[in-house]
Structure 1
Amino acid sequence: MERYEAYKYSGVEWIGEIPEEWETLRLKNVALILRGGSPRPIEDFIAEADDPNSFNWIKIGDTEKDGKYIRNCKQKIIADGCAKSRAVHRGDLLLTNSMSFGRPYILELDGYIHDGWVCFANIKSVSPEYLYYCLLSEYCTHQFDLMVDGGVVKNLNVDKIGSATIFLPSQKEQQAIADYLDAKTAEVDALVADCEREVGLLREYRKAVISEAVTKGLDPDAPMKRSGSKWVSEIPENWDVIPLKHFSKLITDGVHQTPEYTDEGIPFLSIKDMSNGTISFEDRKYISYAQHLELSKHAPIEEGDLLFARIGTLGVTVVVKDCPTFDIFVSLGLIKLKGGAINGDYLAYCMNSDYYCSYIQTVKAGGGTAAAKYNLGEVSRSPIIQPPPEEQEKIVAYLDAKTAEIDSLIEEKQEMADKLREYRKSLISEAVTGKFKVPGV
């Protein structure tokens, strides 16, 4: 990349130098910075869909992942709500100031915003497109992180935002940088999308491999018979379909009331701690040993037990292996197997297969709000395809190897996507701090 002819110290140690002719300005000097407002209770101010006298109510949910513009909104508010909110206009720039903290967008519609937004209006000396990339850069986000109020929920006031600095080239250079970044980030985004698409295909393939093995076995020439279950048409002749309860000595769930958490003690897990076929202790909470003794009377978790999701992606199942002592919340279910009744690893593969997902979707269809949870009775009645014990072991060995191979490919694609995202961030930051000259400058 071509560099500028002369540089000067930026005044920021970790930024270093910027081009000699660039200015350093505070955000309050390039725009009027205003916080949104929310009429409350907001439900009283939401307009009917066909109300001709309503106004756009722009929410963070109206944004697109990695999007630059807000072009549409899903809700509108009545006129009385406008007086308690903040008007914004096409060409203004919005910055998220709540859960998805510090993400900029350019408006392509007029409307009103709630207090989870900050608006940059009356923008001067800088093009909205260039300002967008400045706010998206690591340089600005780092400044915001240092200024932030609050703990779990990050929040910035407009005075602090206004005190942040950006580096400003000429108007012509601003446009050239914005155009360059539009093109380059689009290229990177397309490559990331390809990686994500391939990850999705690999995950589908993984599930298909599991489903094929647990419904048809490993012998393509094995004689087949009607299964007698509507969830799978045929199974090998010497296999059976049996309700899960016949293999289990206990099917239960975790505690229904939130326990009192402690700074250390016994790990306490919920659905958020189980994903992609693993149990994670990384963000665990703790309960006291005394609470553990009480909870373990109801749901005593041991090596070889199975945990399954009762909310979220219903039925996703993990075998407890090499874990410390822990307890679970109601969002997780527990299966304790009868000795020798069925291979636990095989059962987990069954419960993570397509046919089992179809069972859950069917029994939960039309269930209203109750469908949000996988009931223990439904788990107990769920159909499990049972091969002979020696075939279960062979299927587990085959699937352990095959899924490990697929998981490795998925990890490679995810790492590639992460590196592309990091490159995208670095490219933006270097462009808006003048570390290189973009073409056309």
Structure 2
Amino acid sequence: MKQYENVKESGAEWLGKVPTHWPLKKLKHTVELNSNECADEGITFKVALENIESGTGKHIPTEVPGFEGIGNTFQADDVLFSKLRPYLAKVLHPKTSGIAVGEILVLTPNKELYDSRFLFYQLLSSAFISVVDSSTYGSKMPRASWSFIKELQLPVPPLSEQRIIANFLDRKTEKLEKLLTHKQDLLDLLQRKRQAFINEAVTEGLNSLAPRKSSGVEWLGELPAHWEVRRLKTVSQFITSGSRGWAEYYSDEGSIFLRIGNLSSSSIDLKLHNLQRVTPPSGSEGERTRVQPNDLLISITALLGAVGVVPQVIEEAYVNQHIALVRLNQDIVHPRWVAYFLSSPVGKHQFKTLTNGGTKEGLTLGDITSLVLPYPSYEEQCSIVDYIETRVRNIDKAASAILAQIETLKAYRQALISEVVTGKVDVRTSAAASSSAPKSMPQQLGLFE
């Protein structure tokens, strides 16, 4: 992209060089912090942190407001900035007036100096977010202070140029958002296909012409005639759950402590990239909750019914109280067969049934022992698992490629915004705007296919 010919040092390391004709002004001299507190009665448009999408500035509507009480009023064209966990980049440019609840700064730009859309993009830029995030205090709930933010010097181009830049970014981010939506739709389609063929495999087997019979379970329907139906307890050696109160044993090193976050609703493989460590207590209580390869793990509180299989190779690991640990009799049942069935749409149905349609909080170990599953021969279980995993690998490979494209586009969007609003590239002419990278990059990625 074209660069500005004349630049100067900004005096701020995070900002670098800026165009010579862009004056630098402290934020406190260009915006007003709005502290007009108001009760939320009668105000229909309410914004909390959960209503702002990270990194995009999109408003996420909620059917039922999840907050009440006192907030700060804002007007259309104010800019809302979350000072809590600023690395999440939660910035909103509202199109109507309302009330902001929570740790949200309401900023009203000086209209003689700032176009509100340009200010929105400036505060959303990765350069600004990084410097604000570097100032945070509080380890568990890091937040930035207005006393720091207001002293930051930002480049303030002429208003006419701000509008050109804002129009440019509106167009380009809209195009990128359409591409991202398209890719997310493809991911959703792949997930539906994945679930559909798993569901078919675990209820019909590999021979669709085999004679069928009623399973005797209403929600399960018909199964191949030579299959049985078993309760989980009949194919298990033991079923338990993790101990309570292990937070006191948390440590930076030690054994893995498996939590619900290590389970997934879309895969039976554990997520082992974000691990809590513990130094477990000695004795039988610790040994009871220690996992072995091929153990089945089931979420019994949040993310109800998420299922995972402990891999063949894993460090010493234990489960917390929100996970049921099922040690299967591997002479008669394949752990991944059980996991694939329980995580299939038909298998998940019984979790909903056991919680009375979601009105009951959590599952008991009694619920887990009573889980129903189809029971073909061990050899047929192995064949079905092999078939499923061959198909899953192909789908997951395609999904991984799409996810990589999505992450590339998101990173590019952030970089584009930052480059433009800090004056690293010049988009003032229509020729520059039409020939810039946002058009060619998605084509290089194959995103128009």
TM-score by length of 1: 0.88
> 2:283 is matched with which residue?
293
- Does the 8 Å contact 1:27/1:162 carry over to 2? yes
- Does the 8 Å contact 2:79/2:106 carry over to 1? yes
- Name whichever of 22-31 and 298-307 sits farther off: 298-307
Provide the secondary structure at the position in 2 that maps to 1:3: coil
Pick from 59, 73, 93: which aligns with 1:106? 93
1:326 aligns with 2:317: yes
Provide the secondary structure at the position in 2 that maps to 1:107: coil
Provide the secondary structure at the position in 2 that maps to 1:308: strand
Provide the secondary structure at the position in 2 that maps to 1:228: coil
1:147 to 1:76, Cα distance in 2 relative to 1, 3 A: closer
- Does the 8 Å contact 1:34/1:158 carry over to 2? no
Question: Gapped runs of 5+ residues in structure 2?
Answer: 431-449
1:309 aligns with 2:295: no
Q: Where in structure 2 are the equivalents of 1:220-235 lying within 5 Å? A: 220-235=208-223
> 1:91 is matched with which residue?
77
d(CA) in 2 for partners of 1:152, 1:313: 23
d(CA) in 1 for partners of 2:44, 2:261: 38
d(CA) in 1 for partners of 2:379, 2:131: 61
- Does the 8 Å contact 2:109/2:115 carry over to 1? no
d(CA) in 2 for partners of 1:73, 1:67: 19
The letter of the residue matching 1:296 is: G
d(CA) in 1 for partners of 2:271, 2:371: 26
- Does the 8 Å contact 2:49/2:102 carry over to 1? no
> 1:419 is matched with which residue?
408
d(CA) in 2 for partners of 1:415, 1:218: 33
Deviation at 1:416, TM superposition (A): 0.5
1:359 to 1:109, Cα distance in 2 relative to 1, 3 A: same
1:372 to 1:64, Cα distance in 2 relative to 1, 3 A: same
- Name whichever of 337-346 and 62-71 sits farther off: 62-71
d(CA) in 2 for partners of 1:77, 1:306: 38
1:28 aligns with 2:19: no
Q: Where in structure 2 are the equivalents of 1:245-324 lying within 5 Å? A: 245-260=233-248, 261-275=250-264, 276-289=267-280, 291=281, 293-321=283-311, 322-324=313-315
Deviations 1:124-149 (A, max 9, x none): 41111000000011111111012112
1:27 to 1:430, Cα distance in 2 relative to 1, 3 A: same
d(CA) in 1 for partners of 2:170, 2:134: 28
Deviation at 1:425, TM superposition (A): 0.5
Deviation at 1:35, TM superposition (A): 5.9
1:114 to 1:220, Cα distance in 2 relative to 1, 3 A: closer
1:262 to 1:68, Cα distance in 2 relative to 1, 3 A: closer
Pick from 145, 161, 167: which aligns with 1:157? 145
Deviation at 1:185, TM superposition (A): 0.3
d(CA) in 1 for partners of 2:47, 2:425: 36
Deviation at 1:409, TM superposition (A): 1.0
d(CA) in 2 for partners of 1:206, 1:72: 29
> 1:177 is matched with which residue?
165
Q: CA RMSD, aligned part only?
A: 2.7
Q: Where in structure 2 are the equivalents of 1:167-206 lying within 5 Å? A: 167-206=155-194
Pick from 86, 103, 106: which aligns with 1:119? 106
d(CA) in 2 for partners of 1:171, 1:73: 37
The letter of the residue matching 1:311 is: T
1:303 to 1:173, Cα distance in 2 relative to 1, 3 A: same
Provide the secondary structure at the position in 2 that maps to 1:214: helix
Pick from 336, 348, 351: which aligns with 1:360? 351
- Does the 8 Å contact 1:97/1:156 carry over to 2? yes
> 2:399 is matched with which residue?
410
Q: Where in structure 2 are the equivalents of 1:335-354 lying within 5 Å? A: 335-354=326-345
Question: Gapped runs of 5+ residues in structure 1?
Answer: 40-44
d(CA) in 1 for partners of 2:101, 2:330: 58
- Name whichever of 199-208 and 60-69 sits farther off: 60-69
1:4 aligns with 2:7: no
Deviations 1:405-424 (A, max 9, x none): 11111111111100000110
Deviation at 1:2, TM superposition (A): 2.8
1:217 aligns with 2:200: no
d(CA) in 2 for partners of 1:23, 1:71: 37
- Does the 8 Å contact 2:51/2:59 carry over to 1? no
Deviation at 1:338, TM superposition (A): 2.3
Deviations 1:222-251 (A, max 9, x none): 222222221222211211111111101211
Q: How many pairs were matched up?
A: 423
> 1:42 is matched with which residue?
none
- Does the 8 Å contact 1:277/1:318 carry over to 2? yes
